[in-house]
Structure 1
Amino acid sequence: MFKAILVMGRDPTQFSKPPLDRLIPELLERDVKALDVCNAITHGVELVRYWQKLAQIAVSALEQRPIGEGQRGLGRPGGAAVAPPRITGTEPPESFRSLSSSVAKSWSAARQIQAMSSNLVAPRGGEATGLALPVYIMSTVLVFVMWALVAAIPCQERNGLTTNFQIPRQVGWAQAMIRLQERIAEEWKKKEKKGTAGLLEETQRMEKVALSLMEFADSFEFPAEEELVAAQVGELAEICRKMEEGLGPLEQQIRDVFRRIVKSRREVLDVLDQSAKLSSPVPY
């Protein structure tokens, strides 16, 4: 689709002239950074799946009646495993091996989003009626999708995420996206200081229940709190079920986004290659 927009009724030599000689290389670089974000998000989904499996172990133990010291002993590590790392001080053990473990420890999701958006400027004047506009629109949508994924899914180093990407309010076609960004940013500001794992509803609910289970393990009094614990365990079991159903499709969607970015980038490179051939002088 984007390839069609680039070539339809246009002079191929324009791609070597301002502003496209600057905008298209920036777009290609933005694509590469987006692929890095997709890899980091895939790692985050795998981490959520790891939490879900640990939570399921805790559920299986705490569903047994009557609740004794054995189940209580599993309650705290089970809760700590799925609670925010900044609250519990815990990290996945060395036995956790992510398929996306190639993400460097120094890599920052927030800085990546900032780098993707740092040179993203709305076209002005005559540029606003040319090809610069669809390039800008495509880039803005790409950065917004990556930004929203980083906010939703556990991802490495997200401090200051809400300040790293802002869509200009005067852009008419992006009003719905701006409203959605404002809602996400508002939720993120509420949760960021608490060390949230992300804005995904199931992870937030899991965090809440996990912290309650940790408190239960520290101060459980039988039988007064058994019904309360049973309700929380039931809620955690429901969260695990929803995660079991939803994580696979989510992971598939992220893979689809990754492939589409690769395909789009390849199409743009093909157009640039054709442009270079057409603009080259014919030898005599």
Structure 2
Amino acid sequence: MPPTDHHGSFLNRISIRRNQVTSVDVTHDQELEELELFQKHLSDRFLQLLPPPQLPATGEQQQENQTHSGDTPEPPPILSIAWFRKLLDVYLCCESEFKAVLIINRDASHFSKPPLDRLLPEYLDRTVKALDICNAVTHGIELVRHWERLAQIAVEALEQRPIVEGHVRRAKRALNTLLTSMTAEDKEQNVNVGKYAERMWSIGRRGAGGSVPPAVNHNRRISVSRSLSSSFTKSWSASKQIQAMSTNLIAPRGGDPTGLALPVYTMSSTLVFVMWTLVTAVPCSERVGPVTSIQLPRHLVWTHPMIGLQEKIGEEWKKKEKKATAGLLAEIQAIEKVAQSLVEFAEGFEFPVSVEKGDEVAAQVAELAGICRILEAGLGPLQLQVREVFRRMVRSRAEVLDVMDVVGKINTHVPC
């Protein structure tokens, strides 16, 4: 379930006067405290995504760990569907808090002054690129649904008793189709599945009121509308999109009169990291492995868990024996491994199946069935969360642009 946006409409909670002074007098110390809390909360949330350290323990320590394990639930396995749902939940919480830091009780005239006059447009441009990645990830999830259906066909065939040649042939056809799709070099079938997903995912066609919002004469808004309705071409690359989002992503060095350069950089880095992680795990438009890791400074506390997660994901990629991959999503890797083993069984099938071989196949089929259940239960909610991230970015971007437009009108106002 997507987290609730507790901040509501930010434009209803801010007031911009013509004298460019905020309605609430917030001291410099209070502002610093808000910024520190934002970074601390972000760090704490991402620390919860790190897998617990695997330390050698004595018998007494193991018993103590088991005793305390019931008090605090263990985090889901990294790169699993449950883990990605938690990751998106963390992002949505951080995004809401970022808007509060950026807008509420702030002097909006800072938006038109250095360095925010450069940093904010760059951040908003990154959100536009992230919208395309959300679309690609949604298409990729639909492709995983297709793989789950093929695996389910194999499960139903091999659950029959006794296992005869007809059942094995049916399972083998489904599994070969699944594995071929996973390791395909071309992008055609991803594009075809993406078109199907695009028809089902209506966010790009209908807003909350059932229609596309009216066009606004503003180049930055036009780019969003274009992103909502565009379809992917064969030349589109998720990794190149991530690289474009990382351009000019440089930590501020101080001398910021507004105090907001660091939180804008923090949220930009968080956005790029989340999109990078999704592209790494979910099959998108290319099968060339994870894109180059994001360069994050180590002197900031909130970057430590992100760097740790990047290293863990890099380790997972190194475990792959081939470059062509369907993504690092844990369930995809598990389904691929079991499918390959069952294909080997099908190719060497002889009737009747021995008891020992029958038990081995039954265990593998049961494992594949369990993976299918996880996919069936988790892909829908995950897709809804990606959709919620998409909507939140569109809404937040519009709110920030509204503030910038009002500030622009104030700055250009000529008194009578």
Structure 1 length-normalised TM: 0.90
Q: 1:201 to 1:93 in 2, by over 3 A?
A: closer
Counterpart mapping for 1:1-284 below 5 A: 1=96, 2-83=98-179, 85=181, 87=183, 92=189, 96=193, 98-100=196-198, 102-127=231-256, 130-157=259-286, 159=288, 161-191=290-320, 193-222=322-351, 223-224=353-354, 225-284=357-416
Q: Deviations over 1:10-59 (max 9, x none)?
A: 44333222211111111111000000000000001100011111111111
Supply the distance in 2 between the matched residues of 1:48 and 1:25 (Cα, whole angstroms).
Answer: 35
Q: How many Å apart are 1:92 and its aligned residue? A: 4.4
Task: Look up the equivalent residue of 1:249 and give its one-letter code.
Answer: P
Supply the distance in 1 between the matched residues of 2:185 and 2:249 (Cα, whole angstroms).
Answer: 37
Supply the distance in 1 between the matched residues of 2:257 and 2:308 (Cα, whole angstroms).
Answer: 23
Supply the distance in 1 between the matched residues of 2:367 and 2:298 (Cα, whole angstroms).
Answer: 40
Q: 1:179 to 1:129 in 2, by over 3 A?
A: farther
Supply the distance in 2 between the matched residues of 1:262 and 1:93 (Cα, whole angstroms).
Answer: 25
User: Percent identity among equivalent residues?
Assistant: 59
Retained in 1: the 8 A contact 2:126–2:245? yes
Retained in 1: the 8 A contact 2:185–2:324? no
Q: 1:152 to 1:89 in 2, by over 3 A?
A: closer
Supply the distance in 1 between the matched residues of 2:185 and 2:405 (Cα, whole angstroms).
Answer: 51
Task: Look up the equivalent residue of 1:74 and give its one-letter code.
Answer: R
Supply the distance in 1 between the matched residues of 2:350 and 2:265 (Cα, whole angstroms).
Answer: 60
Q: 1:242 to 1:226 in 2, by over 3 A?
A: same
Supply the distance in 1 between the matched residues of 2:237 and 2:102 (Cα, whole angstroms).
Answer: 33
Q: How many Å apart are 1:188 and its aligned residue? A: 2.1
Supply the distance in 2 between the matched residues of 1:281 and 1:113 (Cα, whole angstroms).
Answer: 39
Task: Look up the equivalent residue of 1:234 and give its one-letter code.
Answer: A
Greater mean alpha carbon deviation, residues 196-205 or residues 246-255: 196-205
Greater mean alpha carbon deviation, residues 3-12 or residues 49-58: 3-12
Q: 1:7 to 1:240 in 2, by over 3 A?
A: closer
Task: Look up the equivalent residue of 1:212 and give its one-letter code.
Answer: S
Greater mean alpha carbon deviation, residues 161-170 or residues 40-49: 161-170
Task: Look up the equivalent residue of 2:403 and give its one-letter code.
Answer: V
Q: How many Å apart are 1:271 and its aligned residue? A: 1.2
Task: Look up the equivalent residue of 1:118 and give its one-letter code.
Answer: T
Supply the distance in 1 between the matched residues of 2:384 and 2:150 (Cα, whole angstroms).
Answer: 22
Q: 1:263 to 1:250 in 2, by over 3 A?
A: same
Task: Look up the equivalent residue of 1:251 and give its one-letter code.
Answer: Q
Task: Look up the equivalent residue of 2:391 and give its one-letter code.
Answer: R
Greater mean alpha carbon deviation, residues 250-259 or residues 191-200: 191-200
Retained in 2: the 8 A contact 1:110–1:164? no
Equivalent residues, number: 284
SS in 1 for 2:272: helix
Structure 2 length-normalised TM: 0.63
Q: 1:186 to 1:127 in 2, by over 3 A?
A: farther
Task: Look up the equivalent residue of 2:110 and give its one-letter code.
Answer: Q
Retained in 1: the 8 A contact 2:289–2:325? no
Higher relative contact order (CA 8 A, sep 6+): 1
Retained in 1: the 8 A contact 2:185–2:287? no
Q: Deviations over 1:71-99 (max 9, x none)?
A: 12122222123326464779749985522
